[in-house]
Amino acid sequence: MSETDANQIKNEAQQNELPVDTPEPKAFKPKPDELVRIAGKQLFYQRISACCMVVIALCVLFAVLKVVPMVETTLAHINDTAIKAQESLVQVDEMTDGLNEASKNLNKLVDENVEVVTDAVKSISEIDFEGLNQAITDLQGAVGPLANFFGKFR
């Protein structure tokens, strides 16, 4: 490439506002002691992370060992309670059936004895209480002197 060609390329680059003769970027090359320092920090934070993971694992293990048996016990109590409730419902059903049967029997008894009770009420209402009282008074008048006579022999 000649000088004229180079000048022409520079002019075109300036017109297009392209940088001319830009140096290549240098690769980052850390120093060995800097690498050791960075590795040390990474190791420190990895240890902290590992300790946190161990603590979390222990918490999960504790929860599994402590909470799961309590949950099982609670579920067993709930199951027992449900069984007792079911048995109670069966007993309530039997008791209800017994009450229904007793009320049917009572209705039957009342139906069978309506006539007898009606006749008894009629008989009681037909009693002549004034005549009965008069008869009791007459009886007392007749028996009173006889009782006095027999009372003397005592």
Per-residue pLDDT of the chain (154 residues; tens, 9 = 90+): 566 766 677 667 666 655 545 555 666 677 888 888 999 999 999 999 999 999 999 999 998 899 889 999 999 999 999 999 999 999 999 999 999 999 999 888 888 888 888 888 888 888 878 888 888 888 888 888 877 887 777 6
Q: How many domains does the chain have?
A: 1
Q: Are 44 and 51 in contact (CB under 8 A)?
A: no
15 assigned to some structural domain: no
Please work out, in degrees rounded to the nearest 5, the angle formed at the alpha carbon of residue 123 by the alpha carbons of 120 and 124. 85
127 assigned to some structural domain: yes
5 assigned to some structural domain: no
7 assigned to some structural domain: no
13 assigned to some structural domain: no
10 assigned to some structural domain: no
Q: Which domain holds residue 100?
A: 30-145
Q: Write the single-letter amino acid at 26.
A: K
Q: Write the single-letter amino acid at 136.
A: I
